[in-house]
Amino acid sequence: MSTEAVEIVVLGRPYKVSCPPGQQDALRQAADQLSSKLVELRQRSKVSSNEQLAIMAALNFCHELCLEKEKNHQYSETMDKRIKMLQRTIEAALIEHGQYGDNGEEGKKP
């Protein structure tokens, strides 16, 4: 997969980073989000070191990512349970009507 160099700006400082084709806008949006988070952290924490700010931002983003992964996992489990329940309900209804397990011939009335 080819990549191209894209210039982004974080905290007013330009960086050239490799980016897959078609992902430039997403990368720039991510850089804007990072800059905003760093500015917010700098104001809230009074930390002036860019390295400390970067670590704090990374920890915050990782924490948010972990929370989202857990939410997705719980949602997936809930959907799996619902799908299985629906499948059992459909199977029970088909059995009740004598149509489950047929090849299309049995269970039909002439």
Q: What is the pLDDT of residues 36-50, one digit of tens each?
A: 999 999 999 888 788
Reported as a single tens digit per residue, the pLDDT across 73-101 is 999 999 999 999 999 999 999 998 887 66
Distance CA 68, CA 97 (A): 43
Distance CA 98, CA 95 (A): 5
Distance CA 49, CA 28 (A): 23
Predicted structure pTM score:
0.65
Class of residue 36 by CB neighbours under 10 A (exposed 0-12, middle 13-18, buried 19+): exposed
Distance CA 53, CA 59 (A): 10
pLDDT for position 3: 85
